[in-house]
Amino acid sequence: MAKPRFELVEVAVALIRRRSKILTVFNPMWGSFTLPMTKRRRLQDVRLKRGWRLEDWMDAASRAKAECLGSTSIQEPEVLVEDAIGFQQSDRDGKWKRYHFMVFDTRVGAQETLVDGVVAEWLTADQILDPNRRPISETARRLIGDLRDRDLL
């Protein structure tokens, strides 16, 4: 009997902080607030006729940040943690998948504004972890809890 194969999903997370607050954005596909994050893209390598490559982790995290703040940056974000969480059921399609997260820390000032139309809220880690605060994705809670456990927040 063949073992079931689970899709590997590599996710870059942009932990965007303003003082003690963390940016959470509403993801309509999940129906909850989460951290800005995106899957790494699989891109055709123009140097090879039929070759593919994965998007650079930092490029993916920068893209997640830009979708919220609408700006580029020359400041390289710090890699806080690389975290393979194993199997988890997708909030979007309900399928079981293997997830690999890389969390990048970015600090912004009060002058940074959100892109028009982005539904977001600046929350403390305690607020994100509060089980009575809804709707917050379990992925965001788990990542923030993990960062706190490692004394990275």
136 residue type, one letter: I
Q: Which two tokens stand for residue 141?
A: 């809670």
DSSP, collapsed to helix, strand or coil, labels residue 54 as strand
- Report the topology of domain 8-149: Nucleoside Triphosphate Pyrophosphohydrolase (3.90.79)
Of all residues in the chain, what percent carry a pLDDT higher than 90? 63
Domain range summary for the chain, segments of one domain joined by +: 8-149
User: Closest Cα to residue 143, out of 3, 15, 9?
Assistant: 15
Mean pLDDT of 60-78: 92
Using pLDDT thresholds of 50, 70 and 90, give the confidence band for residue 3: low
Q: Tell me what pLDDT residue 38 has.
A: 96
Using pLDDT thresholds of 50, 70 and 90, give the confidence band for residue 125: very high
Residue 115, pLDDT > 70, answer yes
